Amino acid sequence: MSSPALPTQSAFARLWDSAGMLLVLAGLFLVCSLGVDNFLTATNLRGLALAVSTIGMVACTMMFCLAAGDFDLSVGSVVAFAGVLGGTVMNATGSVGAGIAAALASGALIGLVNGVFVARLGINALITTLATMQIVRGLGFIVSDGRAVGIRTDGFFALGNTAWLGVPVPVWLTVACFLAFGVLLNLTVFGRNALAIGGNREAAHLAGVPVVRVKVIIFTLQGLVAAFAGLVLAARMTSGQPNTSQGFELEVISACVLGGVSLSGGVARIGFVIAGVLIMGLVQNAMNLLNIPPFYQYVARGCILLGAVMLDRMKQRELRWPTKLDLW
């Protein structure tokens, strides 16, 4: 019996699949360097990197959430809450360590609650994290009485406002997150299990993947990292702001999806996330340099998100048709 040809992707399709968004990023960078005044300066690039550092950190764990077929809307509130709580505790105790510990612990706890509700109790992630998003936002206002918490322990500001080798510390921390979560995704059973769960939860369960445990850990990590990002942000601003980062969760998800992480789960790469985060930041930066009013920037960001979701959809369809039809 002759064996029929098997489906293979063209070389271009493969390249696009693995590095498409990195190419877009490179192209955008080139265009901005040539076309936008003051773009290619050390000061601007440092500012750009700093601007995406918060999104970058949280996008790492959001990638895991999406990989496992979930998402987390509470991260923006956690970022704000962690800054406020950390600042309040530092002011009260005079200890930077205590403030950081309290913020991280509360972030992880919120994540754990999300995880238990979603994975163990089977409540929809949208509903669960929509609820915790509001609860935690409210807690931030309660703790701070609705006002910014000016932080009085100067040592804390090193986290946000110092530089190493000319690069701001928050940027280094983001790079560290990319590395750590890239390794976690690609080189550990945990990462592969997350992708398997997102790809087909039931099949993963029957194959012995501890679905509930993996999901709970993912949400807990998500809360922990969001709290950490909130602390770094507070250090940069030298205060904890209860109303910061509204809509942040959507920016993070946009960045991931823009990079090519699939909303329906099972497909994620750290390179996707890095590309998505940088493209978002780059576009925003270029718009600022071009003096495009903020009102228009909202419109542009929405359009970019829509474009990214469409890309995700098209990619899915490419993969879905044979799956669904059982062609061969």
What tokens does 62 get? Answer: 């959001």
Cβ atoms of 176 and 53 within 8 Å: the answer is no
Q: Shortest distance, CB of residue 3 to other proteins, whole angstroms? A: 6
Q: How far apart are CA 235 and CA 113, in angstroms?
A: 26
Tokens of 322: 């044979």
Of 40, 142, 163, 187, the one binding other proteins by CB under 8 A: 187
Question: Should residue 204 be labelled a site residue for other proteins when binding is judged by CB under 8 A?
Answer: yes
Between 70 and 249, whose beta carbon lies closer to other proteins?
70
Half-sphere exposure at residue 257, Cβ-oriented, CA atoms within 13 angstroms? 25
The answer to the question of residue 323 lying near other proteins (CB under 8 A) is yes
DSSP classification of residue 163 = E
- Cα separation of 282 and 203, whole Å? 39
CA atoms within 13 A on the CB side of 98: 10
Q: Can you name the residues that pair with 167 across neighbouring β-strands?
A: 164
Q: According to the binding rule CB under 8 A, does residue 6 interact with other proteins? A: yes
Q: Which of 41, 93, 134, 188 binds other proteins (CB under 8 A)?
A: 188
Query: Mask of contacts with other proteins, 209-238, x by CB under 8 A?
Result: xx----------------------------
Q: Does 113 bind other proteins (CB under 8 A)?
A: no
Per CB under 8 A, 142 contacts other proteins: no
**Could you tell me which stretch among 35-43, 100-108, 160-168, 185-193 binds other proteins (CB under 8 A)?**
185-193
> Are 241 and 168 spatial neighbours (Cβ–Cβ below 8 Å)?
no
Interface positions with other proteins (CB under 8 A)? 1-10, 13, 186-189, 192, 195-196, 199-200, 202-210, 262, 265-267, 319-320, 322-323, 325-328
